[in-house]
Amino acid sequence: MVPKHIALIMDGNGRWAKSKGKPRTFGHKKGSETLKQICKDAYDLGVKYVTVYAFSTENWKRSKEEVSFLMGLLRQYLNESIKNSEENNMRVRVIGRRSDLDKDIIEAIESLEEASKEFDGLQLQIALNYGGRDEIIRGMRGVFQHLLDNDGSDQVSKHDLKLAMQELDEDKFSYYLDTVGIPDPELLIRTSGELRTSNFMLWQLAYTEFYVTDVYWPDFNRTELKKAIDAYNRRERRFGGTTK
């Protein structure tokens, strides 16, 4: 069976470039082309949702030059995506903390999300200035905001607070996450060999199967994607005791 939702940590652009004696930026450029192709391949193979890690809340720690190159690449990718999403019937959504991004990038995200919202082919989520912990904290803020908005008076009563506390459960909380309405991924692929989540989808990956390949992201292709799906099919999925 092909997983309905694949999450992808696109890692190794820098190492790929280094192995070719080129600057890291060269790897990022090639990596963005790989993403375009992988979206087509994934949909072709029967995948419905793909969520990719493009820039983490920790990636701001990189050099100013690298961060600004990555932002430039994202700008270009977002602008090209309006046409690309139409051609491929692809819906694009961006997850992560938007407020820190440049105004023109925020506008490009909003235009792309609006222009592609009816497309029912591949559902692509781009994680941009995304951190799993940050998403959970923003989710908590959303819960508090909901409480404040729902109370007509100046103060939230203890009674309402107690009720909200008792009623809060996993389903209700997930409504406040960036991935609302999107099923959890069945498969996570990380390229370039690191065995960590690097703060990606901490909530959503609770029962996701992990697949790590040593292949650097710019070299990742349809054959590698198929290998990951084959490996997934050899797993026995367990959810704490049952296979459902």
Q: Which of 59, 79, 84, 199 is an active site residue? A: 59
Query: Does 9 contact ligand IPE by CB under 6 A?
Result: yes
Q: Is 7 in the site for ligand IPE (CB under 6 A)?
A: no
Alpha carbons 93 and 91: distance in angstroms, whole number: 7
Among 55, 77, 211, 220, binds ligand IPE (CB under 6 A): 55
Burial environment of residue 127 by CB neighbours within 10 A (0 to 12, 13 to 18, 19 or more): buried
Q: Quote the least distance from Cβ 117 to ligand IPE, whole Å.
A: 25
Tell me: does residue 178 bind Mg ion (CB under 5 A). no
Rg (CA), the chain: 19
Binding partner of 32, given ligand IPE, Mg ion, none, CB within 5-8 angstroms per partner class: none
Report the candidate in 58, 98, 94 with the shortest Cα–Cα distance to residue 199: 58
**25 lies in the site for ligand IPE, by CB under 6 A:** no
Q: Is 209 in the site for ligand IPE (CB under 6 A)?
A: no
Is residue 11 among the annotated active site residues?
yes
Which residues have C-beta within 8 Å of that of residue 4, sequence separation ≥ 6? Answer: 47, 48, 49, 183, 186
Alpha helices in 88-206 (DSSP H): 103-116, 132-150, 158-167, 170-174
By CB under 5 A, what part of segment 9-38 binds Mg ion? 11
Annotated catalytic, 154? no
- Which entry of ligand IPE, Mg ion, none binds 132, CB below 5 to 8 A by partner kind? none
Q: How far is the CB of 163 from ligand IPE (least distance, A)?
A: 39
Instruction: For residue 72, give the H/E element and its range.
Output: helix 64-87
The residues binding ligand IPE (CB under 6 A) are 9-15, 53-56, 59, 70, 192, 194, 196, 198
Residues designated as active site: 11, 59
